[in-house]
Structure 1
């Protein structure tokens, strides 16, 4: 069965997070996702707060920009969350928006090389290994976590371009696709992921695909969806996003699932008037239709 989530967009002030988390937990939503967008909210800090304020909902951080973070720090923080909230943490990393990385002086000449090195080191550290490596960007000298997660944990990676999506199959445990991804885009991503897995000799392992779905419901839903698509550079009639009631949203989720998505995360428009109501809608109205 397809896993359903929703995202708390960081255009909302951090103090809004608590009520959205509690609404998601009460509504039976399976996953609540957070973003570390420059220069809004930190992924680890908001993730920790969301986990502490809830009892059962899984919390995804999708994603942490690797140029901003030393891999040892990412591993320490991720391991702490996994130990404090076992089974409820989903970690994703990625390139980050290159213009933002340039603003803070950490833009990599080769984002692909950086992401590969970060993923390999991060997964090894979280597996409890002692790591020594000297790469183009990631250097570790006899580093091991004192408190690694007690069991295996997955590290997901975000990807858009074909080379990055292929890399997620090679070096990550799952792939996060943006709301710019249609059902055909999910199918293409699955093919690229499989190429990467085969090349790395990992084709027998599970690989989770998470895709965001731009979603609008309630009054003015179609207009809000259309305006956001146009603002993001898409045509208003592109096969992206969904506007309507729970049945319309559930059907859009099914299309992505049939294309190869394991998890679909409903992404409200930036001007969503009722963030708490949006996660209740996802958990109480859309989720039952997917059973």
Structure 2
């Protein structure tokens, strides 16, 4: 599978009206980005159906789910959906699976306990269903931050999809995954050179994640403290999580992830308001600096 080194992760690829998403997907592909990443979150479209829409709207780009919650459907249903998309779009679909977060899981009526064991059991269920997916044709990735989930990504999947992480985490993840597993970090970006404005946009985005224990615990392991999490995030934390500045500065952060061991970086252009047009404008600006 050829995803290129840079793709696009954006929640509106899973939420915006279908016709708008189709147009945006085709334009992102035309700009040279190698993959499009949708997600599963409150208010989003069903992730496998949405992946099919994105795949049908494009010709070459890979499409990944980052991620489908294991609490959203049983393992047999996931295996069937995975096999269906792998057959319909050979070499273009990436299955991302994750344990999600306690507030989101409880909102679906489930109990969030022993997430690592839950993921192992879910993978057992997928494998028991024997989905007909050719080796390497539709890679299975796990959402992973901490060492044990990264080890599971190495041992039971083709790699890991990481989120809300700086390049320092990418280097640690690569050490655990080894050289032959895919590593796909997400990187939030803002093409904005004014520090106050860029950090304001970044903090609005980060506020959702700075109340989720999985992300906070991972950031603590990287040396951040509760002081960094207060008041929307310290400048140090904001600058570590969100790449901002001119196009070359943002591209530099992508290169940092690649140098740290990423195979593909999924950038997420942030806007003051949810707006695919603004995201596309930033992607156009960034494409030459990214070498696309």
TM-score (norm 2): 0.79
Matched with 2:24 is 20
Moved more, 107-116 or 93-102: 107-116
Q: Does the aligned pair in 2 maintain the 1:216–1:269 contact within 8 Å?
A: yes
Partner of 2:241: 240
Distance (Å, rounded) in 1 between the aligned partners of 2:168 and 2:149: 17
Which residue in the other structure is 2:269 paired with?
268
Is residue 71 of structure 2 the alignment partner of residue 81 of structure 1? no
CA contact (8 A) 2:4 2:35 kept: no
More helix by share: 2
Residue in structure 1 matching 2:181, options 173, 186, 207 = 207
- The separation in 2 between residues aligned to 1:193 and 1:50, in whole angstroms, is 29
| Contact 1:21-1:54 at 8 Å conserved across structures | yes
Query: RMSD value over aligned CA atoms?
Result: 2.6
Which blocks of at least 5 consecutive residues in structure 1 are unaligned? 125-130, 132-142, 195-204
In the TM superposition, what is the alpha-carbon distance from 1:31 to its structure 2 partner? Answer: 0.7
| Separation of aligned partners in 2, 1:30 and 1:272 | 25
Aligned to 2:205, the other structure's residue is in SS state helix
**Residue correspondence of structure 1 range 59-208 to structure 2 within 5 A:** 59-122=63-126, 124=127, 131=128, 143-145=129-131, 148-152=132-136, 153-179=138-164, 181-194=165-178, 206-208=180-182
Partner of 2:256: 255
CA distance in 2, matches of 1:154, 1:216: 29
Q: Quote the residue 1:134 is aligned against.
A: none
Residues 116/290 of structure 1: CA separation in 2 closer, same or farther (3 Å cut) = farther
Question: TM-score, length-normalised on structure 1?
Answer: 0.79
Cα drift, residue 100 of structure 1? 1.3
1:69-114 CA distance string (max 9 Å, x none): 2111111111111111111111110101221111222224321111
Q: Which residue of 2 aligns with 1:197?
A: none
Corresponding residue pairs, total: 260
